[in-house]
Amino acid sequence: MLGTWLVIGVSVAYLGVLFAIAFYGDRRADEGRSIIGRGTIYALSLAVYATSWTYYGSVGRAASSGVGYLSIYLGPTIMLALGWLVLRRIIHISHRHRITSLADFVSARYGKSVRLGGLIAVIAVVGVVPYIALQLKAVSTTFEIIRRAPRITPSSALDQVPLFQDTALYVALLLAGFTILFGTRHLDAAERHEGMVTAIAFESVVKLVAFVAAGITVTWGLYHGFGDLFGQAAQAGHSSLFTLGDSTGTWVWLNVLSLFAIVLLPRQWQVGVVENVDERHVRQAMWMTPLYMLLISVFVLPIAAAGLLRFGSGAEADTFVLTVPMAAGLDAVALLVFVGGLSAATGMIIVETVALSTMVSNSIVVPMLLRRGYSGRLAKLILLARRLSIVAIMLLGYAYFRLAGESAALVSMGLISFAAVAQFAPAVIGGLFWKGGTRDGVMTGLAGGFAVWTYTLLLPNFAATGWVPRGFLDHGPFGVGALRPEHLLGITGMDNISHGMFWSMLVNVGCYVGVSLLSRPQSREQAQAVLFVDALHDPSRPRLWRDRVSVQALHEVLVRSMGHRAAAKALEGVDLQSGKDADADLVHHVETVLAGAVGAASARMMLTSVAGEEQLGVEEVMEMLDEASQVAALEERHRLARELHDSVSQALFSMTLHTRAVELALQKQGGDPDGPVARGITELRGLTQDALAEMRASLFQLRPDALREDGLAEAIRKQSAAIASREGVVIAVDAPGYRLSLDDRAEEELFRVVQEAVHNAIKHAGPSRIDITLADEDGVTVEVADDGTGFDPAAVSSSGMGLVSMRERMKRIGGGLVITSTPAGSTTIRAVLPPETGTAQAGDQR
């Protein structure tokens, strides 16, 4: 005998435990002793996938269509098996770019498009809110059933409970509190919510234990094991249990749906990607989460069989997990099952609202504020927006449940939600593996797929609820049969999910691929495409911005959007008072930090407001183009080099000859050697010679393989000659006459270091002479010494990103960088590559 108050007490106690665990998790995290630093917690948190819909609903499915229910677990297993390929890639990219949600991810991939992020957020909200409603319904229904124990009340016989007696409302409010408390602790949405994740992992354990306990009790307590149970079921004629109830086509579609759902559902993205602390955890999840699914699905059939035996095939199978133990008088088990269902529902609701609220705030609210020119403090506003959206989503879910809860149609919302998020698949998967996908392609694909989804799946569901007239379904709009939502173009013989998926995916993928192939991506899109597709090959490079931006301006942007503390932390070690311009690395760093708080698209908008448009340098663009266009670009460069050589170089050479001829003629005629004509001609000859040197250097730069052809020393000589004539400084190059045996990479990095060092010297030290020395003794040493004004290396070491990048270059090839400089004197930058590193021989021995 379970009283109402007992059930309420247990529920409240359970939620209390949940709060306590979340508190504990967060406290441990604050103390720096994180408990989610292990794969087990990650794998368990992924099991938030199993909601009350699967918890109760699987048994219902099994009762009517046998092992068909397995597809819900099989799809994720397949996806996780591919986890290393797909999930790890997504995680890698998301962490590097501090991506906060799926909307953010897709928007960032396709050129940080604001509109795209907004569209995805809208689809996610529309697709998932009914799913939240479904969870609330489960809580409400099971509560009503269990509190009437031992009487078994079919949920259809339950009247709508009055608003203020509805458990679902209180659960929704409590969960909103929980989510705000543990889901919006930091402004930086890319930071982890350790307490929340710990609680979710705990919930996963609870629902597994509850379900398995129910299964064991039923199988061995009420019957004598599997054999007995299935034997009796077979005898009683419940043969549906042993069939694959769905058609093969449907079954395949269900697998595909759940395969995508395990990654693309907002909550799955949240725990799987955003909350992931270590890519290696994916490896553990690859076997542990499928094992979890296997365990939780083992007893589905036995419980379904027991339910059918006890209540007959007309009974409501969706609540068998609860009603079978209740009917057998196993109150404690029933209560445990109820708590398990509660945990399945609450886990889903908590994570889903966190994920959706991040999307809503970062992809809809913040961009809107920025677009309207909002210039106040954003930090508090963003948190407020996120908290308000949590409450709004929760209430929206609840309202949907109250409005549609009576109809059986709500139950089918689970799969319809899956179908909604499956619309993201082409954008995400294509974005990961295909550089050709463009923003326009994704926009059309998503919009088209979503429209078809709405028409073929959502509208019919509304019709079943009574919100849309039924005639619409049966005869099509305006009586046009070909437009019947569930039988587009007269297709029959498919169930509505397969039908909707077929059409929406056809439109989605078709538009995505078609429009992508037809449209030309902008350079920014291409850049992002390369960053995402080649994510694992480490191509991280800072972007260039059109306008210079001071460090202070960056600081202000950070303060505005994240508050003083976070801004100070982000710019730790950077001199804020100097009034200097920030270099590309620093701007990039700030953009990444901002992206964590407001999303990639908004971060870009904010930086654009202070730094001008993002601009890609010729070299960056070249590097980012994909291989095909890279070849084309190289050919173009070669052609350009050839043409310049053919026209300008030859003309310049001829000019030096002509001017020399004029000089000689002047001498012969006995003209004044110090007169204006003679001096002018001499000057002219010098200029022409310089122009020729410059030309050679730029031709050299246009041919990227020139460094390899000419070798390091020659490349430095040519480059220096050009810079020397342009900047009016003396650059002396002392290098061995033979070619150093360096591998390509070392050669490239050393060349860039020298280039950067010379550039820095000229820009900051104002030297009259630069000496470049290349020595090949005991490893390779390159020294760039200037006689300029110098600086204090200790003062700039942390902020001088130029030096940092030179150091990094040397580190990459196993060398080091030594800088000696005094504020009063000259600067020497010495790059040292120890023997046996970066040399061609070392490469041979591998």
Partner 1 sequence: MSTIRVFLVDDHAVVRRGMRAFFEMLDDIEVVGEAGDGQAALDELAVRAAAEDLPDVVLMDLLMPRLDGIGATKAIKQLYPQVEVVALTSFSEAERVHVALEAGAAGYLLKDAEADQVGAAVRAAVRGQVHLDPAVARTLTRSLVAPQRTATALTPREREILVLVAHGKSNRDIAASLVISERTARTHVSNVLNKLGLASRTQAALWAVREGLVSGT
Residues that bind partner 1 (CB under 8 A): 627, 645-646, 649-651, 653-661, 664-665, 668, 685, 689, 692-693, 696, 708-711, 714, 717, 737-739, 741, 743-744, 840, 843-844
Least distance (Å) between residue 747 CB and partner 1: 10
- Name the residue nearer to partner 1 (CB basis): 421 or 693: 693
Question: CB-wise, 651 or 818, nearer to partner 1?
Answer: 651
Q: Nearest to residue 112, comparing CAs of 611, 523, 433, 520? A: 523
Least separation in angstroms between CB 180 and partner 1: 50
Minimum Å distance from CB 529 to partner 1?
17
* DSSP letter for each residue of 280-326: THHHHHHHHHHHHHHHHHHTHHHHHHHHHHHH-TTS-GGGHHHHHHH
Least distance (Å) between residue 567 CB and partner 1: 43
642 CB-near residues (< 8 Å, 6+ apart): none
CB of 662 to partner 1, least distance (A): 8
Q: Which is nearer to partner 1, 484 or 717 (CB)?
A: 717
For the CB of residue 97, give the shortest distance to partner 1 in the complex, in Å. Answer: 25
Q: CA nearest 324: which of 305, 307, 302? A: 307
Q: Which is nearer to partner 1, 375 or 654 (CB)?
A: 654
Cross-strand pairs, 830: 783, 818
391 or 684: whose CB is closer to partner 1?
Answer: 684
Beta carbon nearer to partner 1, 173 or 655 = 655
Q: 545 is written with which tokens?
A: 């911005």
In angstroms, rounded to a whole number, what is the distance separating the alpha carbons of residues 468 and 687?
Answer: 82
Question: Distance of alpha carbon 107 from its chain centroid, rounded?
Answer: 9
CA dist., res. 283 & res. 795, Å (int): 44
Please say which residue, 96 or 739, places its beta carbon nearer to partner 1: 739
With beta carbons less than 8 A apart as the criterion, state whether 170 and 330 touch.
no
The distance of closest approach from Cβ of residue 82 to partner 1 in the complex, given in angstroms and rounded to an integer, is 22
Structure tokens at 209: 């234990």
Phi, psi dihedrals of residue 839, rounded to the nearest 5°? -95, 160
Distance of CA 97 to the CA centre of its chain: 7
Q: How far is the CB of 532 from partner 1 (least distance, A)?
A: 19
Q: What is the DSSP string of 639-674?
A: HHHHHHIIIIIHHHHHHHHHHHHHHHHHHHTT--TT
What DSSP character marks residue 583? Answer: P
In whole angstroms, the minimum distance from the beta carbon of 691 to partner 1 comes to: 10
Nearer to partner 1, 156 or 845 (CB): 845
- Which of residues 217 and 689 has its CB atom nearest to partner 1 in the complex? 689
Closest C-alpha to 769, from 761, 757, 777 = 761
CB of residue 780 to partner 1, shortest distance in Å = 15
Backbone angles phi, psi at 782, to 5 degrees: -120, 130
CB of 645 to partner 1, least distance (A): 6
**Amino acid code (one letter) for 833:** L
Smallest separation, CB 751 to partner 1 (Å): 15
DSSP secondary structure string, 505-523?
HHHHHHHHHHHHHHSPPPH
Min. distance of Cβ 692 from partner 1 in angstroms? 5
Pairing of strands 816-821, 827-833: antiparallel
Nearer CB in complex with partner 1: 236/651: 651
Distance CA 836, CA 470 (A): 79
Give whichever of 173 and 706 is closer to partner 1, judged by the CB atom.
Answer: 706
3-state secondary structure of 438: coil
Q: Which helix (H) or strand (E) holds 819?
A: strand 816-821
Cβ pair 588, 542 in contact under 8 A: yes
Least distance (Å) from partner 1 to the CB of residue 782? 18
Complete DSSP assignment for 511-554: HHHHHHHHSPPPHHHHHHHHHHHTGGG------EESS--BHHHH
User: At its nearest, how many Å lie between partner 1 and the CB of residue 711?
Assistant: 7
The residue assigned the tokens 């303060």 is 559
Choose between 238 and 717: whose C-beta lies nearer to partner 1.
Answer: 717
Name the token pair of 231.
């034997």
The residue among 234 and 651 lying less far from partner 1, judged by its C-beta, is 651
Closer residue to partner 1 (CB): 619 or 744:
744
Q: Could you tell me if 684 and 712 are in contact, meaning their C-beta atoms sit under 8 angstroms apart? A: no
Which DSSP helix (H) or strand (E) runs through 781?
strand 780-786
Q: Which is nearer to partner 1, 708 or 812 (CB)?
A: 708
What are the two backbone dihedrals, phi and then psi, of residue 35, each rounded to the nearest 5 degrees? Answer: -105, 0
Q: How far is the CB of 657 from partner 1 (least distance, A)?
A: 3
List the Cα angle 168/174/176 in 5-degree steps: 100
Decide whether 452 or 695 has the Cβ nearer to partner 1. Answer: 695
**Secondary structure letter of residue 377 according to DSSP:** -
Radius of gyration of the chain (CA): 34
Do you find a cis peptide bond into 150, omega within 30 degrees of 0?
yes
